[in-house]
Amino acid sequence: MEQVVREALSSIRFGTVTLVVQDGRVIQVDKSEKIRLNKVGYVDGSGI
């Protein structure tokens, strides 16, 4: 389990890693990654 958490943490730059615990044991690891853009609203340089 420790290796799974380490891989999740090392594979993202911005985002969250959530551990789901049930009966005192980690049963699930969720990873949500965010992609930061240089300017808000610009994906390909043309704007919205």
For tokens 């808000």, the residue is 40
Reported pTM: 0.63
Please indicate, yes or no, if residue 10 is contained in any of the structural domains.
yes
Taking phi over 0 as left and psi of -120 to 50 as alpha, with beta for the rest, 3 belongs to: alpha
* Number of domains making up the chain: 1
Please indicate, yes or no, if residue 26 is contained in any of the structural domains.
yes
- pLDDT computed for residue 39 by the predictor: 66
For tokens 């389990």, the residue is 1
Q: Which domain holds residue 22?
A: 2-33
Please indicate, yes or no, if residue 47 is contained in any of the structural domains.
no
pLDDT over threshold 90, residue 47: no
CA distances from 47 to 34, 38, 41 (A): 19, 12, 6
Residue-averaged pLDDT of the chain: 85
Task: Locate the DSSP E strands across the chain.
Answer: 15-22, 25-33
Tell me how far apart the alpha carbons of residues 30 and 20 are, in angstroms, rounded to a whole number. 8
- Kindly state the average pLDDT of the residues 17-33: 96
Which pair of tokens denotes residue 2?
């420790």
